[in-house]
Structure 1
Amino acid sequence: GGWGKTTLVTNVYEREKINFSATAWMVVSQTYTIEALLRKLLMKVGGEQQVSPNIYKLDAYDLKEKIKQKLKTRKCLIVLDDVWDQEVYLQMSDAFQNLQSSRIIITTRKNHVAALAHPTRRLDIQPLGNAQAFDLFCRRTFYNEKDHACPSDLVEVATSIVDRCQGLPLAL
């Protein structure tokens, strides 16, 4: 972690969600059950007050069918954040079939998960270069200084800190 994937997607999601009639942000992580994720998605896109209490009795197939019913005429923006395994998307993808003008965004630190996306639809985030990292560090640390300049007596210490952060924006 620490590359800024979730931060970037959060900004996109917040800016774009007004253009969609259904939205859902799903944190997946390493421990999940497909039924729990599908239930959560159904509650988000169907409105918790509109979802039957029987939702906890439904299996994955029935949950997917209910999601399809809720989404079939709606433009959706769905984020699957912190996906570690292709199986998450592969198991949920049935529910996303035939979604008109909808978008599904996946954040992951795993290349095999990112490979699910078409190469033209994938954004690989790289660490900041030394100059960019130093600039970001100085803007955050010396925000009261003119032009956010690092004081000359702190350049060596600042450089050492920036080097330890290895170009990861959230570490800076």
Structure 2
Amino acid sequence: MEDVVVSAVHGAMGTLLAKLAALLTDKYKLAKEAKGQIMFLKAELESMYAFLKKMSSMKNPDKQDEWWAKEVRELSYDIEDSVNEFMLCVDRKSSSKPHGFKGFMERSMHLLTTINTRLKITKEFEDLKTRVMEVSQRRMRYKVDDVVSKPNNITIDRNLLAIHVETTGLVGIDGPRDELIHLMDEEGGVPAHELKVFSIVGFGGLGKTTLANEIYRKLKGQFHCQAFVSVSQKPNIRKILRTILSEVGFRAHEDTNIETWDKSEFISELKTFLLDKRYFIVIDDIWDASAWDIIRCAFPESRNGSRIITTTRIETVGRACCTNHSEYVYKMKQLSDHDSKSLFFKRIFGS
């Protein structure tokens, strides 16, 4: 009974993938073009199979997810029917044949029909490949995977709260903000027209994101374009680069589908777009220097006075962001006694 349930959920995917692998063996003597199409189908269907498995473990899947899963299952049955028909045809024509003149005639006819069969299956797999691509593109358009991977429980994003906190509710932010703004403006170790990277360092809860956001609010009007993105412990680099590209004002051509871009394409496009602009970017909550090393590649070192602020809990990461300029690493301090009292009274009495 369990096997029936699994089949109903996953369609024909389990057996279909095994059959596609078998078609790639020497037994079926497929043309190179047909083999390429089968390899493409196999790779796409493996991804869809993983989606169906993920769907089967969800308690309350979204209606859009269920619809797409149904489409994938029906597609798997159609492809399996075509594969079964071809395999039976080849196996039947490979059975023993009589000897002599009659056998010669039958072998000759078998050769002709086999060629026709293989041409037919090449065309059929080409059509199936088109269908699979259409289903995959539909998933990309409606972002089904994003919906499936969304957790059921709601977590509070502290960085999001810090970004949208009201300025009037902040205590002890003016001093650090003005100090960093002055550091960003002065010549120091790097001329004002060169790109400068600053890092705000401190353990969780000290207000790194809040400070970076205050500087961002105050200065962003002085730059051609700006962006504020969060990295986190498990960064999705491609998503981060795409967000930056969107926030700085990039607009893709109508015939360009950026959904299919990889990290290198986003980096290249960002670098080109920002080359002649004065930009201000905040990269919040970096946990690993390797993440910064990749993101950093997207920012051209043009002589337009651009600025980047990073925030991190880890001092070594902060220093890595600022390369050889340790003076650009700002260590967060705890509130003074006066600011602590002000914060206490504000929270308790509202003033």
Instruction: Give the TM-score of the pair, scaled to structure 1.
Output: 0.74
CA distance in 1, matches of 2:238, 2:349: 48
- Name the structure with the higher helix share: 2
Which residue number in structure 1 is paired with residue 276 of structure 2? 73
CA distance in 1, matches of 2:243, 2:331: 28
Matches within 5 A, 1:34-113: 34-47=237-250, 50-52=251-253, 53-99=256-302, 100-113=304-317
CA distance in 2, matches of 1:122, 1:23: 21
Which residue number in structure 2 is paired with residue 5 of structure 1? 208
Q: Which of the numbers 126, 147, 160 marks the counterpart of 2:333? A: 126
Which residue number in structure 2 is paired with residue 138 of structure 1? 345
CA distance in 2, matches of 1:143, 1:56: 47
Matches within 5 A, 1:13-52: 13-47=216-250, 50-52=251-253
Which residue number in structure 1 is paired with residue 318 of structure 2? 114
CA deviations on 1:145-172 (whole Å, 9 max, x unpaired) are xxxxxxxxxxxxxxxxxxxxxxxxxxxx
CA distance in 1, matches of 2:247, 2:267: 13
Structure 1 stretches lacking a partner, 5+ long: 145-172
1:98, distance to aligned residue in structure 2 (A)? 1.9
* 3-state SS, counterpart of residue 290 of structure 2: helix
1:126 maps to a residue whose letter is K
CA distance in 2, matches of 1:44, 1:11: 18
Point out which structure has higher relative CO (alpha carbons under 8 A, 6+ apart). Answer: 1
Contact 1:46 / 1:70 at 8 angstroms: preserved in 2?
no
Count of residues paired in the alignment: 142
CA distance in 1, matches of 2:214, 2:299: 23
CA distance in 1, matches of 2:337, 2:219: 32
CA distance in 1, matches of 2:297, 2:208: 25
CA distance in 1, matches of 2:234, 2:319: 21
* 3-state SS, counterpart of residue 229 of structure 2: strand
CA deviations on 1:21-78 (whole Å, 9 max, x unpaired) are 110000111122221111111111234xx22552121221121110011101100000
When the two chains are superposed, the root-mean-square deviation of aligned CA atoms in Å is: 1.8
CA deviations on 1:68-114 (whole Å, 9 max, x unpaired) are 11101100000001111111210111111223311110011111211
1:2, distance to aligned residue in structure 2 (A)? 1.2
CA distance in 2, matches of 1:142, 1:63: 49
CA distance in 2, matches of 1:8, 1:93: 21
CA distance in 2, matches of 1:55, 1:66: 10
* 3-state SS, counterpart of residue 96 of structure 1: coil
Identity of aligned residues (%): 33
CA deviations on 1:111-142 (whole Å, 9 max, x unpaired) are 12111222111110022244542343134434
1:57 maps to a residue whose letter is T
* 3-state SS, counterpart of residue 95 of structure 1: coil
Contact 2:274 / 2:300 at 8 angstroms: preserved in 1?
no
Contact 1:82 / 1:109 at 8 angstroms: preserved in 2?
yes
